Amino acid sequence: MIGFMENKVIYENNTDTIFDDDSQNEPREGYGFDEYEITATPSDFNIATLFSFIESGVVTIPGFQRNYVWDHGRASKLIESLIIGLPVPQIFLYEQSRNKFLIIDGQQRMMSIYYFIKEIFPKMEKRAALRKIFAKHNRIPDEILNDNKYYSDFSLYLPTKLPKRQNKLHGLTYSTLDEYKVSFDLRTIRNVIIKQMLPKDDDSSIYEIFNRLNTGGVNLTDQEIRMSLHHSDFMNMLSRVNANSKWRKLIKLDEPDIHMKDIEILLRAFAMLIKGDNYTPSMLKFLNGFAKDKKTENHEQISYLETLFYSFLDSCSLLQENIFLVSSNRFSITLFESVFYAACYKPYLNTELISGNIDNDSIIQLKNNETFKQVSIGKTTNTQNVKKRLHIALDIVKIK
């Protein structure tokens, strides 16, 4: 779970690490009914069609494979309900473009259907490993899907307390459904397809839609939504960088955050380096726009940015172990992005890499700079304060 204490965000995979996240203090913008034209159209798709949607990539599931939390019994109960004709909750899909949908609500149901037809079920103890594989490849490769080290066979688990009245579906797989198979394949589920008609150049409403409609227990974070909405080779690069051991040591998290806060920090650092001089609030809209722009970034530039980041990590090799931690051992996002901006600014302008090491004392000087401290508290995400932080860091942080 995620816990909030003032402006501190504690993440469930490592409660010892706390991010000092200034964007959490931003008012969450609501969207008025007069700002967007949104349609919601009900459609009934049968099970076979829904499965083909996932297989073909027509439907994208945020956190595919990563956030599946149902156990064998609960997934089996869903399949049983579908077979015997019990009503199941509707699924909400967001139409990004023609034949491209993003699931808003219904991930657990969709994945349970997918797993049953594939006749595999992710082992509970391997789900963390599957998250890492997904982060690396942005999908689960076929050889992993067929590896019994990660998956067990999916036969329906429907035990009863009365041994003489055993559930006739218990133990069946998709291929052994026999007379039930056709009715299962043709069973329909109501899908509500949501589409933003206007404005066409601003998809910010998807964040409000996710927050209002998602009923999966814990709402998706901005970065989880962003990773699906603006999936790209650039985002894949961030996932690779996020797994780097030097970065993990710097951020003080052994494992990638399951809610992708660490990837959002990387996105924000690059956004400040590349677009910081044009920053305007809110941070949410700024990062959304940057991520959207990077969907068309060419491979050569992405490769350069990845190499530039690795050179930044090398330049941090002589820094104190906790240099980016502030009071209460919180990792300061504002300090990190300011130092990253200062260290990479000139190399980026010349398409070069960082040569040398960041001077540890210069970061201490930056942390103690009164003006920098003033613009790092309070309204930290307004335009003036963001730009001032970056330029102060550019003047103070030194490479030796």
Nearest to 299 by CA among 215, 218, 233: 233
- The one-letter amino acid code at 309 reads F
Residue 206 lies in a domain: no
Domain of 52? 37-198
Same domain flag for 26 and 42:
no
Looking at the fold, whether 136 and 246 belong to one and the same domain comes out as no
Predicted pLDDT at 362: 98
Helices marked H in the chain — which ranges? 47-56, 72-84, 107-118, 127-137, 142-145, 181-186, 205-213, 222-229, 233-242, 245-251, 261-275, 283-293, 299-315, 333-349, 360-368, 370-374, 383-396
> Is 318 within a domain?
yes
Claim to verify: residue 145 and residue 41 sit in the same structural domain: yes
Amino acid making up residue 397: V
205 domain-assigned: no
Residue 285 lies inside a defined structural domain of this protein: yes
Q: Are 356 and 315 a contacting pair, CB within 8 Å?
A: yes
Hey, is 301 helix, strand or coil?
Answer: helix
Q: Are residues 252 and 180 in the same domain?
A: no
| Ramachandran assignment for 217, one of left (phi > 0), alpha (psi -120 to 50 degrees), beta (any other) | left
pLDDT of residue 211: 67
Q: What tens-digit pLDDT sequence spans the chain (400 residues)? A: 222 222 333 333 443 446 777 666 565 554 454 566 888 999 999 999 999 998 888 987 655 445 678 999 999 999 999 999 999 999 999 888 888 888 888 888 999 999 999 999 999 888 878 877 776 666 788 899 889 999 999 999 999 877 778 899 999 999 999 999 999 999 999 999 988 887 666 666 677 777 677 655 556 678 888 887 788 899 989 999 999 999 999 999 988 887 789 999 999 999 999 999 999 998 988 999 999 999 999 999 999 999 999 999 999 999 999 999 987 788 999 999 999 999 999 999 999 999 999 999 999 999 999 999 999 887 788 999 999 999 999 999 999 9
Nearest-angstrom CA–CA distance, 321 and 251: 10
Q: Are residues 377 and 228 in the same domain?
A: yes
How many domains are contained in the chain? Answer: 2
Beta bridge partners of 4: 9
* Same domain (yes/no): 240, 380: yes
Strands 37-46 and 325-326: unpaired
239 and 131 fall within a common domain: no
Query: Do 183 and 232 share a domain, yes or no?
Result: no
Task: For residues 269 and 334, give the distance between their C-alpha atoms in angstroms, rounded to a whole number.
Answer: 9
Q: Same domain for 290 and 311?
A: yes
Residue 203 lies in a domain: no
Last residue of a domain, one of 198, 229, 264: 198
Minimal CA–CA distance to 64: which of 90, 102, 93? 102
Q: Give the CA distances from residue 119 to residues 14, 49, 141, 176, 258, in Å, rounded to whole numbers and listed in that order.
A: 33, 17, 16, 11, 26
Buried b (16+ CB within 10 A) or exposed e, 329-340: ebbbbbbbbbbb
Residue 135: predicted pLDDT: 62
Instruction: Record the pTM.
Output: 0.73
Residue 211 in any domain: the answer is no
| pLDDT given for residue 257 in this prediction | 84
Q: How many CB atoms are located within 10 Å of the residue 65 CB?
A: 20
- Same domain flag for 67 and 21: no
- Domain assignment present for 146: yes
Say if residue 297 is in the same domain as residue 341: yes
CA atoms within a 13 Å half-sphere pointing along the CA-CB vector of 76: 18
Instruction: Quote the crossing angle between the two packed helices 283-293 and 261-275, to the nearest 10°.
Output: 80
Same domain, 229 and 296: yes
In a domain, 208, yes or no: no
